[in-house]
Structure 1
Amino acid sequence: MFREQYNKLNNQVSPGEKLLQDTIRKAEEIENKSHNRVFSFRKPAIAFVSICLCLSLAMPALAATVEPIYELMYMVSPTIAQFFMPVQKSDEDNGVKMEVVSAYIHDNVAEINITMQDLIENRIDETTDLFDSYSINRPFDSSAHCERVGYDESTRTATFLITIEEWGNKDIAGDKITFTVREFLSHKETYEDIEIPLSLSTVDVAKETQKPLNRTGGGGVDYKQSDEENSVALIPSSPMGEFPVEGIDLTGVGYIDGKLHIQTAVTDNLEKDNHGFFYLKDNYGNKVDSSYTFNFVNQYDQAGRIDYCNYIFDVPQSEISKYTLYGDFVTSGMITKGNWKVTFPLEYQSE
């Protein structure tokens, strides 16, 4: 009796022929791509195949408990990596519980509702933002995004909707998804249509400028004009004392090459995500948006990083006195870190 049960369980975790061939093929592809390092990479490739075979013959849960192994497997083959991940529909860390509450599949789209509940404090509220710290691992090519869709104050629970759209019209039912969150922001403050106490009629041509080295992006209709080689920015000055948004500093205003430049700064913004945008209003309330923005930092990874955002308006200096500066901003009051991970199959719901 015992032998029969053992054989039955062992057969359930043994790898199929297709899985073995896929594993070997993926390892060989990586080996072939490393042209100049073929000898140094040969052993890791073979070792990876050995790891996969051993895990297949043992128990799939082992791979999930060793994060580096899982990451290596996912980098080589998402299909194999997700095969080894055990189903775990809830996870708790740092007093916060993350749970899969529903999954709905229609055509090639999966919609999954995930909740995050604070079990001990009030760190989750109606402004909770996953802060781009989440990852969605799946064994098929697709696009995916996540958004907050609800909040229950009585239980301190925020609900997020994950939407995954498969690219190849593949039947995704039965595949497993792994959703991971590393941190989230909450207790945000929103400032809308705030008048900035700055007399634009006194703005003059900037005496000193710089070409920022550490660009980090930007946007706007004329953003292409701000390429890294030709972009010029104000040199940051002491923060304006009367700026109405706590957590964002106004560090420069001036004209460069006939255009109005406005510069803000946020210290240690990797743990805040404080942001916003400026616009001008004339005496009739008509809005003028910036032509483009570009961002740069004083340094990347060291403590004391400052993120600068530069807003450029294509308004002549002779006309700027007709306008007033306004802005919309969002600041974050709290960041909570942890390690939450759930793995679950995509299943059709019964009618």
Structure 2
Amino acid sequence: MNDDEISVVYLTMQDLISNRINENIDLYNYNITGANGFTHKIVDYNATTKTATIRMMATGGQDLNNKEINLSISSFLTGSNKFGKFDANVNLAEVSSDVNTIHLNMLQIPGGGGDNFDNLKEKRIVDILKPDETNIKLPNISFAYISNIGFIDDKLHVQVKWTKKETEKANIDDHGTFLLISDKKTIYPTNIEFGIDEDGNSKYGNGYSEYIFDVNKQMVSCYSLVAENFATNSNYIEGNWQVSFSVKAVNSSKKVDCDINIDGIKIKSVCLSPLGITLFIEGKKADDTDIEVTVPSIKNRNQNFSKFFDSNHNNQHIIKCVPIEPFDIENIDVIYVNGFPVNLFNELILSSVEVIGLLFKLTLEILTGKVI
């Protein structure tokens, strides 16, 4: 199913001959034709039938309306061990600016991300920390450690070595990131993936990650270095699974204007569809602000929403919050945004049959002078 922002697909995967699928299954290489911005989450696992139910989501939902698409999966991971946020136990006030560096060719790396990544690519050659100058262990993490940390050009660099990514039995998707967190602000890094040859020079590979924060030595003591989303896996399984089907649009939605201000974030309208709640925002982007949407319980079931994306579209910020499964919006007359009520009772976008019914009722009222 799709609405104006996203497409949602639910699929089940069942192992008929072995025990290769469990509650930690994580799709690795997969594709939905015509869609982009994929993400997925396991929403149910039946241990008796060895069946996992997975929700897949993609942006650009309106472009897939009534189209025949193909979903393909060529590999997945199981045996994942995931870690939430935890303090990296690094005293940032003691981090030095006197560090050894090496050159990295940005055209010879597998990838990276973050707000400053494109600027680094334009430079082509950048300085990074010399690998393995330190060995700072991360709490409860055995598959990675901080291999160097320091300031380069007034920016904090934190380098991680992934100990099993370039071994004979490589852990394909070991990953994680860092944040700088203070009482008032969270700073996200730009990250670079790279490898190191036997002589200590950079090469193509993913055995190391370098996280670069736009914060200098004078500012950094106000922050804590926090690790987030670290995960490792034990099984990498390849195959060729695919299915084709047609994507159907949602048949109704509720949209209403509003005026909610949350720490400078101005929510001007809200749209509710069976696939989730969309917030249309003016002003600053909502990256660092917690925004929680809720609806009254439906048949004694609470709906929990998570943020799928926060993007800029036609000079307007859009936040899409999604539930675990599609839900019936017909009897939902109000939603809450950080506790602020938004009334939707008169904003249902009606079907053509309902519109004809209302026009017929209005005509009778006019002809008879009676209210029906």
- Please indicate the TM-score interval, normalised by the length of the shorter structure: 0.5 to 0.7
Q: Which residue of 1 aligns with 2:292?
A: none
Q: Report if aligned partners of 2:3, 2:61 keep a CA contact under 8 Å in 1.
A: no
Cα distance, 1:312 vs structure 2? 1.7
Which structure has greater helix proportion?
1
Assess if the C-alpha contact under 8 Å between 2:43 and 2:55 holds in 1. Answer: no
1:31 is matched with none
Letter in 2 for 1:117: Q
Could you tell me which residue of structure 1 aligns to residue 20 of structure 2? 123
Shift of 1:339: 1.6
What is the TM-score with the length of structure 1 in the denominator? 0.55
Q: 2:193 aligns with which of 287, 290, 295?
A: 295
| Aligned pair partner of 2:81 in 169, 189, 192 | 189
Counterpart residue number, 1:255: 151
**What's the counterpart of residue 77 of structure 1?**
none
Farther off after superposition, 151-160 or 258-267: 151-160
Amino acid at match of 2:147: T
Q: Shift of the alpha carbon at 1:259?
A: 1.5
Residue 93 of structure 2 aligns to a residue whose secondary structure is helix
Identify which of 66, 91, 114 aligns with 2:11.
114
Instruction: Answer yes or no: is the 8 Å Cα contact 2:24–2:78 preserved in 1.
Output: yes
Match of 1:346 among 246, 261, 272: 246
Q: Which amino acid aligns with 2:95?
A: V
Question: 1:326 and 1:169 mapped to 2: Cα distance?
Answer: 39
After the TM superposition, which residues 101-250 of structure 1 pair with which residues of structure 2 at under 5 Å, given as runs?
A: 112-131=9-28, 133-136=29-32, 143=36, 145=38, 147-154=40-47, 155-162=49-56, 172=67, 175=68, 177-213=69-105, 214-227=108-121, 228-237=123-132, 240-244=135-139, 245-250=141-146
Q: Contact between 2:66 and 2:246, CA under 8 Å: does it hold in 1?
A: no
CA distance in 2, matches of 1:328, 1:190: 10
Q: Distance in 1 between matches of 2:150 and 2:113?
A: 20
- TM-score, normalised with respect to structure 2: 0.52
Partners in 1 of 2:31 and 2:39 — Cα distance? 10
State the structure with bigger RCO (CA 8 A, min sep 6), 1 or 2.
1
- Offset from partner CA, 1:103-153 (integer Å, 9 cap, x none): x6889997543211234544323332111x12345xxx5558462342223
Consecutive unaligned residues of structure 1, counting only runs of 5 or more, are 1-103
**Residues of 2 paired with 1:108 and 1:171: CA distance?**
15
- Cross-structure match for 1:277: 177
Q: Which residue of 2 aligns with 1:85?
A: none
Partner of 1:318: helix, strand, or coil?
helix
- Higher share in strand: 2
Given that residues 185 and 332 in structure 1 are in contact (C-alpha distance below 8 angstroms), is that contact kept between their aligned partners in structure 2? Answer: no
Aligned to 1:14: none
Distance 1:207 1:109 in 2: 46
Deviation, 1:184, is 0.8
- Give the secondary structure class of the aligned counterpart of 1:127: coil
Q: Mean alpha-carbon deviation: is it higher for 180-189 or for 236-245?
A: 236-245
Distance verdict in 2 for CA 1:222–1:338, change over 3 Å: closer
- Aligned residue pairs total 234
Once the two structures are TM-superposed, the CA of residue 256 in structure 1 deviates from its matched residue by: 0.8
Change (3 A) 1:113 1:207: closer
Measured after TM superposition, the shift of residue 222 of structure 1 is 3.1
* Amino acid of the structure 1 residue aligned with 2:160: T
Contact 2:4 2:62 in 1 (8 A): no
In structure 2, the CA distance between the partners of 1:260 and 1:163, relative to structure 1 (3 Å rule), is closer
Give % identity: 24
Aligned mates of 1:191, 1:222 — CA distance in 2: 26
Query: Following the alignment from structure 1 to structure 2, what is the Cα–Cα distance between the partners of residues 336 and 260?
Result: 34
1:190-223 deviation per Cα after TM superposition (whole angstroms, max 9, x unaligned):
2222111222222112432122133233222333
